[in-house]
Amino acid sequence: MADSGELVQTRRHGRVLEVRICREERRNAVDRRVADGLDAAFNLLEDDPKLWVGVLTGTGRVFSAGSDLTAGGDYVTERGGAYGLVRRQRRKPLIAAVEGAALGGGLELVLACDLVVASTSARFGLPEVKLGLVARCGGLFRGPRALPVNLAREMVLTGDPIDAQRAHAHGLVNRLTAPGHALPTALELADRICDNSPSAVRASLAAMDAVLSGDDPAAWAATEKADADALAAPDAAEGVAAFLEHRRPRWTSA
């Protein structure tokens, strides 16, 4: 495993770049260092003509719990946006390989990928409302694109996760595997893509993205308004404080 920073590691598998978040003691939560490592890895994927496909994964027990709440929102990069990925203009396919929890920004990392492979240990959720916050990194509009609208609403409004089987049944997950097999299966899927013309793959991906992301400016604007409204209420500070203090929040907003 070649280091691109101790918290984000990369490995080449021929024309495929594996990108791994390695901060398991903090549930692979993203802070400045992790964001910079991810940004560097995805810059490498995009800029190296020998690399055709990327695979993003976490560690054996967790994909990512999303934002490190102690980072104060300091996880935005110039080229990739939040986490080095969620607003990146990509040309090459990216596959998420998920073991364990992909929650909050972790799910938003998954939603920023093109394909998803998950083991039966995986869970997907957007728990921000439990903290008095909103899903600010694409979950409010990419979720309803990847899942039935009412299921996406349920996840956003309750903050409760769904398991990998339900995510697979509703189309979020392309391949469902036994625990420990998400990454090998994702690498096999990446190799299948690499069997094809890279120019045709990129042209096809660009065409699909142009259709699917056509309303992104309005979607980001709506997300930013929701984020500002949530942060203006006292519940946001209380929710984060309660989480960090391991207690139930005391909501005051009406």
Q: Are 93 and 187 in contact (CB under 8 A)?
A: no
**Which two three-digit tokens encode residue 145?**
């694109």
Catalytic residue list contains 78: no
Catalytic-labelled residue, pool 108, 154, 224, 238: 108
| Residue-wise burial string across 182-216, b where 16 or more C-beta atoms lie within 10 A, e elsewhere | bbebbbebbeebbeeebeebeeebeeeeeeeeeee
Give the C-alpha separation, 105 to 75, whole Å: 11
Catalytic-labelled residue, pool 24, 128, 154, 224: 128
Instruction: Please write down the long-range contacts of 202-207, taking CB distance under 8 Å and 24 or more positions apart.
Output: 202/91, 202/92, 205/91, 205/92, 205/93, 205/114, 206/91
Catalytic residue list contains 128: yes
Q: What are the residue numbers of the active site?
A: 108, 128
